[in-house]
Chains A and B, each alone.
Chain A
Amino acid sequence: MKQFLGFLVKEFYHIFRDFRTLLILFGMPVAQIMLFGFAITNEVKDVKIAILDESKDNITKEISSKLLSSGYFIAYDNLKSVKDIEPEFRKGMIKEVIIFEPNFSGNLLKLGKANVQLIADASEPNLANMIVGYTSSILMDYQKDLAKSGDIRPSINTDVKMRYNPNLKSVFMFVPGLMAVILLLVSALMTSISITKEKEIGTMEVLLVSPLKPFQIIIGKVIPYLLLAFVNAFVILGLAQFVFGVPIAGNTVLLLLESTLFVITSLSLGIFISTISNSQQTAMMVSLGGLMLPTIILSGYIFPIENMPIPLQIISNIVPARWFITIVKSIMLKGAGFEYIIKETLVLAGMTVFLIALSIKKFKTRLE
């Protein structure tokens, strides 16, 4: 045990003496989340919208003025018919069109149900999402007010249509995705580099010719990065919640536990990479090319999985981040409990066991 602790201490020395890398590891999540966060939040102000009111009753007027007085939107035009929608969008002047169905208030008050359609220009997907989100919440507010004042329970049905880019991610999608990318980077990339570095400078030879056991070397390499990654997960969640108000609807402890599982999966990937590469350069290329790209492209972080060609959908199943992103989305945004993410958790755990077994088998007690 003392031997192992000595090894661990040495690993921490390495990490804390490489100040530049440390700065990147801790600075990167902060910088990224700030970039993403502000890039999104800054935009929703005085967005130009058009309203097609086919009902023109009191309620639609009230809703319209509520929307326009919110500060988010300004009316660019009032449309006369559905035919006007397309040319307006084409001109690029408006970002959203709100359509009230004919006899809106009548339907709402008598049938307790009325339809409103939101059409957004999704060529700027984040913005489109935000706009629709804001519009919807204003509609919801109105619905609530209405419910309080009367004894009926009216429901405004919003039908959202995205133009030009129909499948786009949810507003807060960047947080789960960013967590996946950062945790993977810290865990897999840094462990694989740190092990191959020892091979490259020749110290691995000396370590192998010592009584240290292979699993002690592996665990000793892994623990510091596990801690680092955990700190990063904390920072990302903290920033997301307190700076940008991304809520954590579900259980925070569960979220952190699941993050730890994902970190362990990534660490075992890192160890695996280090067993197949002999230089830091190879390890870095494999980590970036073999892990980062799939994580960004195939995990559903940027491109929705349902929208991919079937072969890519199948491949996406072996990308750990895909499962992790689903888990984070479920807990953070939907407030799901553990029972809803058992499948994803099991998949990640299975991958981890498989990778660890493979790495220990491949980790050489000799130089060949």
Chain B
Amino acid sequence: MYIVEVKNITKNFKDTVAVDDISFEVGQGELFGLIGPDGAGKTTLFRMLTTLLKPMSGYAKVLGFDIVKDYKKIRKHVGYMPGRFSLYQDLSVEENLKFFATIFGTTIEENYDLIKDIYILLEPFKKRKAGKLSGGMKQKLALCCALIHKPDVLFLDEPTTGVDPVSRNEFWEMLRKLKEQGITILVSTPYMDEASLCDRVALMQKGKTLSIDTPENIISRFKKPLFAISSENQYSLMQNLLAYENRDTIYPFGDFLHYTDKRENVSTDEIMKYIESLNCKKITVKSIKPNIEDCFMALMEEN
């Protein structure tokens, strides 16, 4: 049995299509990522799976229960962390956690094992009001609250958005530990680099899925040879390559430009020669393995 099963699900808000005919399955114990920018439909999809919204067409099952008919059963067994910080700012860390434990009919003590690793970091501040916590702390508390009733499946809507890279790393570390304890996790994020931390991902754009697979498979499906190019003046190099007739795509990536060529089987040397002809200095050209962001942009171009 799939933990989450989504079949041709569609959702409109007036005349905008937020989720457009999406299907996928998530298996027991999987860490599944929905990767895409704002407006891709991630939140709407999550709200449907957590029974907060009804689909216009198609269906979805969570833990075998239908999201429309059996919504009450689903609500007992899922943990949900919405995109916005949604805890009570005027309650303390401890009070928030206690509250969420009670409404799910459990206690902090009963499921303490599950949240122990995370809660230990919060313990020194347990009397502090949630509104006075730093961003990273709020995020940890929200995760504890979503976990306190020991859900079978966890829906985390953009838990790392606006969070600095170090806190993001820590957060993913926690997710890996939860996964080891057998909890199925669905997480959405606009940060492409986080895709590689998931077992499988759905790349989403404008309500549609561009690709659903393991990160490795998505990368291996990137057809063209990809080159990373740098020179002393990246900006002028970029302008020159944009004007180059053989260029297919060119995107800046940190201190390199990621480049694909229209010609088949083009070599590093050939590109090197062309760039040298542009009077650039300190040139490096190397053939590289694409990352998820390269794939995402390539898939965006295709659609």
A interface residues with partner B (beta carbon < 8 Å) = 2-3, 5-7, 9-10, 13-14, 17-18, 201-203, 205-212, 365-368
Contacts and interface: CB of A to CB of B under 8 A. Distances in A.
A366 B91 contact: no
A205 B105 CA distance: 18
Given A2-B105, A10-B99, A207-B103, A366 B53 contact: yes
Nearest to A367: B52
B88 A203 contact: yes
B105 A211 contact: yes
Given A3-B102, A211-B75, A202 B84 contact: yes
Contacts of B54: 366, 368
A203 B87 contact: yes
Given A209-B52, A366-B52, A367-B47, A6 B90 contact: no
A221 B87 CA distance: 17
B80 A6 contact: no
B262 interface: no
B76 interface: yes
Given A3-B102, A209-B51, A210-B104, A18 B90 contact: yes
B93 interface: no
B95 interface: yes
Nearest to B102: A6
A208 B47 CA distance: 11
Given A3-B103, A17-B90, A365-B71, A209 B78 contact: yes
Contacts of B251: none
Contacts of B105: 2-3, 211
Contact of B53 (A9, A207, A211, A368): A368
Interface string B35-69: 00000000000010011111000000000000000
A138 B129 CA distance: 63
Interface residues of B, number: 31
5 contacts: A6-B101, A6-B102, A10-B91, A13-B95, A211-B103
B89 interface: yes
B136 interface: no
B82 interface: yes
Given A3-B105, A10-B99, A365-B71, A205 B86 contact: yes
Contacts of B95: 10, 13
Question: 9 nearest interchain CB pairs?
Answer: A6-B102, A202-B86, A202-B84, A367-B52, A209-B80, A17-B90, A203-B86, A205-B82, A209-B50
B94 to A, nearest CB: 12
Nearest to B79: A209
Interface string B104-135: 11000000000000000000000000000000
Contact of B103 (A7, A14, A367): A7
Chain A CB within 10 A, most for which of B76, B80, B102: B102
A202 B82 contact: yes
Given A14-B90, A209-B78, 18 more contacts: A6-B102, A9-B99, A14-B88, A201-B88, A202-B84, A203-B88, A205-B80, A206-B80, A206-B86, A206-B145, A209-B50, A209-B52, A209-B75, A211-B72, A211-B103, A367-B47, A367-B52, A368-B54
Contacts of B75: 208-211
B253 interface: no
Contacts of B104: 3, 210-211
A201 B75 CA distance: 20
Interface centre among B53, B89, B99, by most A CB within 10 Å?
B99
B224 interface: no
A211 B102 contact: no
A280 B100 CA distance: 23
B98 A6 contact: yes
B244 interface: no
Interface in B156-177: none
Given A13-B95, A367-B52, A210 B86 contact: no
Contacts of A365: 71
Contact of A10 (B52, B80, B88, B89): B88
Contact of B86 (A6, A9, A10, A201): A201
Contacts of A2: 102, 105
Nearest to B90: A17
